[in-house]
Structure 1
Amino acid sequence: MLHKIVFAACIFITATATGIADQADSRPPNFILIFCDNLGYGDIEPFGSTVHRTPHLNRMAKEGRRFTHFCVTAGVCTPSRASIMTGCYSQRVGMHQNPRDGHVLRPVSPYGLNPDEITIAEVLKQRGYKTGIFGKWHLGDQPEFLPTRQGFDRFFGIPYSDDMTREVGQRIGERLSGNDWPELPLMEGEKVIEAPVDRDYLTKRCTEEVLTFIEKHNDEPFFIYFPQCMPGSTSAPFASPEFKGKSKNGPWGDSIEEIDWSTGQILDKLVELDIDENTLVIWLSDNGAPLAKDMSNPRRGSNRPLFGRGYTTSEGAFRSPTLAWWPKHVSPDTTCTKLATTMDFLPTFASLAGEPIDHKVDGHDIRTLLVGDANAESPYAAFYYYYLDQLQAVRSGPWKLFLPVDDFVRHPHFKRGEPTHPLLFNLEDDIGSERNVASQHPDIVERLTGLAEAARTDLGDVGVTGSGQRPPGHRTGQPPEAQVAR
């Protein structure tokens, strides 16, 4: 394995008493991260859905903890997934954009997550964990960027989004090298085992692989990353025959109800094997739903009661419906309203596993928030909302400030050609981001503007390279290789 970069600004995390028993002197806990694709904040019953039946997620919320201010770090797939793997903003690890693909990696890209970055899987392997990923990777499809080169013992799934098919590539043509896109491959390890994959069975087959992995490794610590392929990026998501046509919300609802079934299968397996009290399961989505043209129509998801579509810097794009389940550890039937993010998984899991980390990350140990400590506060003095390389907003406490910008590719509030001005929302009092109170709180606008300047210095902005930015992985010297024969 390539040498991992260690930075001077280090974070040392050890297992200390926080209401969870010290795991360092006994078998550390198992971790399962279920990470859906494009599922919206209001798409499941624990967060208000009335069109999707999610009894297993209801159970997870009843027996565990809801997080109503849990954020991802981007409104789209690749940068969001880079943060969950590295504990860093995607701008820090160079996965927010590239000149070939734009915002998200496309098939046969020469770019990917830099092998020198330290992933959550690599951290846990140092503690003896068995590691597996089942589902959608989307951090590079060339051999040096695949999960098996980034700390995972096992990979079963697809290397990028379910809509990145050969047919779509042919329609795109020369743009984004569409003519070179292969059939959508199902991979096991570094081998293509099926192309094109039957997308109707992705949820079912990946779930079966997860259950097999749990059974095989139930007597040793394991980390399962389950990035569900659905609801995905097509206008009509896929589902197996048992679920197709069964929901009240067409293909979108069918896919979500199958994901709910999948979650129930996993929870039941943990109970059956008597390892539920030693397994932390976290369930969330990589970004908000894209929404239909008529935003009140749920056929492409719902982010209600939040404002905005996925793929933007709105709350509807960044805030994820998050559940934590760990019997006897996570307080049952409780809700956390404090800000936390996907960058926190790496340092938190490392701490629980008793594996100190000594490299720079942007996330924090949130064990106290997980278990429901009444005195726990958000560890974030500031949290940043980027679109590509543009810093558009900053949050501190309940306050979110959209910064005035001269130009932009996409914005949830501003329109091109019109003047922009500061927009300040209190996200606790105004869940729909409807009331701009910037004029009433000039002191808060000034403070958050100062926080934005610190972000630009470290993570960059349009035309500005941040001092803390690191390069993405980039294959040089030869053209990308398609993973499947054309």
Structure 2
Amino acid sequence: MTKLVLLVIIITNVMYAKALPNIIVLFADDLGYSDNSLMHPTIETPHLESFFLDSMRFTQWYSAFHICSPSRAAMLTGRLPIRVGISGGYTGGVFSSTAAGGLPENEITWAAMLKKKSYKTAMVGKWHLGQRPQFLPTRHGFDSYFGIPYSVDMGNSAWHNTASNQPPLPLLANETIIEQPVNLNTLSQRYATAAQSFISQNKQESFALYFAFSHVHVPNFVSSAFCNRTTRGRFGDALLELDWTLGQVLESVPASIRNNTITFFTSDNGPWLIQQLSAGSAGNFFEGKTTTWEGGIRMPAAIHWPGTIQPGTISRHIVATYDVFATILALTNIDLPTDRIIDGRDLTPILRDPKNAHEIRDCIFIYKGTPNINCPLSSSSCPGLWAVRCGKHKAHFAISYSQQSCEGSHPIANASTTYQDLSDSPLIYDLDADPSEKWPLNANSDDYTQALNTILIAKAYHEAHVIPVVDQISLGSNSTYALCCDPYATDVSNCTCNPENFNVFVCSPVYPTPTVSLEADAFESIYGYRPW
């Protein structure tokens, strides 16, 4: 009898483990809302197009932030970057290649939570939440890591060899540098192979894969197979390589487990418009990366769940990247942490019944950065929360622009202004009628007054429940924290163990570096490194 009971328990546990869904999170870099062949006239993304058409596509999916590191922190933890301490100064920021800080050890990722159900977990690709050992993916719930720990322009390589204060671009396996500089021409293939191997090895168990593309961040590197393949130029080539990689990952999921595999796809933030032709497109939305306008934070996004989600479904619910955390936990029957505020909401009611599902939140809080850090000398205080959307109305309490060239392209744009405080008279837009944010409501109208009152109440309540924490990005950088394959190197520029990779194939012609130095100066002063 004892053996029979034990056998039943074993079989039950195996069946339960099989019932738990596999999770894949695909995260693009700097991909704009319209950077796909469904939305853009010269972009080629056949695999992404097919994925979107077979999935539930979201038209109102918001990034947690307008730039990289904070957005990724929020997706992994389900918490706004301001709560995690990854927002930078009052205009935002990212971790440098020699950052002192990173994702705090007391923050809990969905990968760490999944270990409660014995999931196998892996991270492939761009991390950008701290390059020091205590901040790497393997310290935050992932069994393995293969990738570049920050953006591909934050280290020297054959494709980007102009930064004297940055080490050569490293490739890590777990916590070990295996190549420096990395050969970017082989990176997409190696990323795909790592993902395929992980899925193959764990197809009989419950697994979770976080795959963060290094595309389409500048420089738009491509292998020779994708060089000059598209009419969209080098950006289009890089996006086509991303699309191919995506196809490789999706096709590696065996048919027998596809109905039990849930795949998320989105981007960290909008297109980096100051890179001109080397950047993507936000489509109908105004502005892009580094701003709190819709073009900087409204993301392309879809969720694929065969057998549950009807192909071609479109959701207009207001959702956010940090909902990934709560949704994964709901799908795997894991309770949310109770010792901290979780901003994410469970998307499963929308996924299962989009027509009858209610809105999962009243408001979205859109931060530019951490209040009162790095304020200009002329200001005694600076806001961190720059915009709030409640329902169809979005109020801007402060605005800025990423491009000096925006003058005349927008009714409010002022090319000489990088920061305008509008707290006394916020701009309010009806995003249902005006998603491009061109025509603010009349400040003397009843609609404006009612919308502002609703938003101000929500804003006050939210800000009262934000507990200040140390901002990790503002801890700065130190060259002693550089990743270096050579322990005897006396300078970060000498951290070279694969010098042959400085001479690999580089596709030409390459778009010329933008020449508007004011934009580069402004970016460097805020984010700590120069974009060109």
The question of a shared fold, defined as TM-score above 0.5 by the shorter chain, is answered with yes
Q: CA deviation at 1:151?
A: 0.6
List alignment gaps of at least 5 residues for structure 1: 1-22, 460-466
Larger deviation, residues 65-74 vs 158-167: 158-167
**Which residue pairs with 2:526 in the alignment?**
none
Q: Shift in Å at residue 377 of structure 1?
A: 2.4
In the superposition, relative to structure 1, how do residues 372 and 201 fare at CA in structure 2: closer, same or farther (>3 Å)? farther
1:277 aligns with 2:259: yes
State the Cα deviation string for residues 371-428 of structure 1 (Å, max 9, x = none): 34311122121111111121110001111111257xx797995643877432111112
**How many pairs does the alignment contain?**
440
Determine helix, strand or coil for the equivalent of 1:400. Answer: strand
- Tell me which residue corresponds to 2:359: 378
Out of 257, 276, 279, the position equivalent to 1:300 is 279
Quote the residue 1:41 is aligned against. Answer: 33
Q: What is the aligned partner in structure 2 of residue 388 from structure 1?
A: 369
Structure 1 stretch displaced more, 413-422 or 28-37:
413-422
Q: Deviation at 1:127?
A: 1.0
CA distance in structure 1 between the partners assigned to 2:475 and 2:286 by the alignment: 39
2:459 is aligned with 1:452: yes
Give the residue type in structure 2 aligned to 1:444: A
Change (3 A) 1:95 1:418: closer
- Partner of residue 250, structure 2: 267
The match for 2:215 is 230
1:358 positional shift: 2.3
Taking a change above 3 Å as real, the CA distance of residues 479 and 204 of structure 1, as seen in their structure-2 partners, is: closer
Query: How far 1:169 sits from its partner (Å)?
Result: 11
1:142·1:480 contact (CA, 8 Å) conserved in 2? no
- Give per-residue Cα distances to partners, 1:99-119, cap 9 Å, x unaligned: 9x9600001211000011111
Q: 1:224 to 1:453 in 2, by over 3 A?
A: same
Q: Does 1:138 align with 2:121?
A: no
Residue identity in the other structure for 1:314: W
- 2:23 maps to 31
Tell me if 1:120 matches 2:114.
no
1:205 deviates by: 1.2
- Cα deviation, residue 27, structure 1: 2.2
Aligned equivalent of 1:369, options 342, 346, 350: 350
Q: From the superposition, tell whether residues 384 and 183 of structure 1 become closer, same or farther in structure 2 (CA, over 3 Å).
A: same
Shift of 1:266: 2.2
Name the structure 2 match of 1:483.
483
Structure 2 residue aligned with 1:319: 298
Q: How does 1:352-367 map to 2 (within 5 A)?
A: 352-359=331-338, 360=340, 361-367=342-348
- Of 151-160 and 261-270, more deviation after overlay is shown by 261-270
Cα 1:194–1:333, aligned 2, differ >3 Å: closer, same or farther?
same
SS of 1:111's equivalent in the other structure is coil
Q: Identify the residue that residue 430 of structure 1 maps to in structure 2.
A: 434
The structure whose Rg is larger is 2
Q: Aligned partners of 2:353, 2:54: CA distance in 1, in Å? A: 13
Deviation of residue 475 (structure 1)? Answer: 8.9
Conserved? CA contact 2:258–2:306, under 8 Å: yes
**Contact 1:230–1:255 (CA under 8 A) maintained in structure 2:** yes
3-state SS of 2:208 partner: strand
Equivalent in the alignment of 1:155: 145
Confirm or deny: 8 A CA contact 1:290 1:300 kept in the other structure: yes
2:156 and 2:163 in contact (8 A); partners too: no
- Alignment deviations for residues 440-471 of structure 1 (CA, whole Å, 9 cap, x no partner): 32111121122222233233xxxxxxx36466
Displacement of 1:63: 1.4
SS in structure 2 opposite 1:281? Answer: strand
Q: Give the CA deviation at 1:261.
A: 1.4
Asked whether the equivalents of residues 65 and 334 of structure 1 are also in contact (C-alpha less than 8 Å), the reply is yes
Letter in 2 for 1:424: I
1:350 to 1:246, Cα distance in 2 relative to 1, 3 A: same
Q: CA deviation at 1:200?
A: 2.4
Gaps of 5+ in 2: 1-14, 371-383, 407-411, 487-494, 496-532
Q: Name the structure 2 match of 1:5.
A: none
In the alignment, what sits opposite 1:462?
A: none
Q: Do the aligned partners of residues 473 and 123 (structure 1) sit closer, same or farther apart at CA in structure 2, a change above 3 Å counting?
A: farther
2:269 to 257, 277, 287: 287
Q: What does residue 320 of structure 2 align with?
A: 341
Q: Deviations over 1:350-389 (max 9, x none)?
A: 1111111223311011111223431112212111111112
Deviation at 1:45, TM superposition (A): 2.0
Structure 2: distance between partners of 1:192 and 1:223: 24
Q: Is 1:114–1:471's contact at 8 Å kept on the other side of the alignment?
A: no
What SS does the corresponding residue of 1:437 show, helix, strand or coil? Answer: coil
Q: For residues 24 and 380 of structure 1, do their structure 2 counterparts lie closer, same or farther at Cα, with a shift above 3 Å needed?
A: farther
Equivalent of 1:219, from 201, 204, 209? 204
- Classify the secondary structure of the residue corresponding to 1:70: strand
1:188 paired to 2:178:
no
Distance between the aligned counterparts of 1:301 and 1:404, measured in 2? 25
Q: Determine which structure has the larger helix proportion and give its number.
A: 2
Alpha-carbon distance in structure 2 between the residues aligned to 1:81 and 1:222: 20
Aligned partners of 1:214, 1:25: CA distance in 2, in Å? Answer: 16
Q: Distance in 2 between matches of 1:117 and 1:333?
A: 36
CA distance in 2, matches of 1:190, 1:53: 35
Q: CA RMSD in A?
A: 2.7
Question: Normalising by the residue count of structure 1, what TM-score does the alignment of the two structures yield?
Answer: 0.84
Report the counterpart of residue 80 of structure 2 in structure 1: 89
Q: SS in structure 1 opposite 2:256? A: coil
Provide the rounded CA distance (Å) in 1 between the counterparts of 2:113 and 2:53. Answer: 31
Q: Which position in structure 2 is the counterpart of 1:247?
A: 230
3-state SS of paired residue (1:53): coil
Q: Percent identity?
A: 30
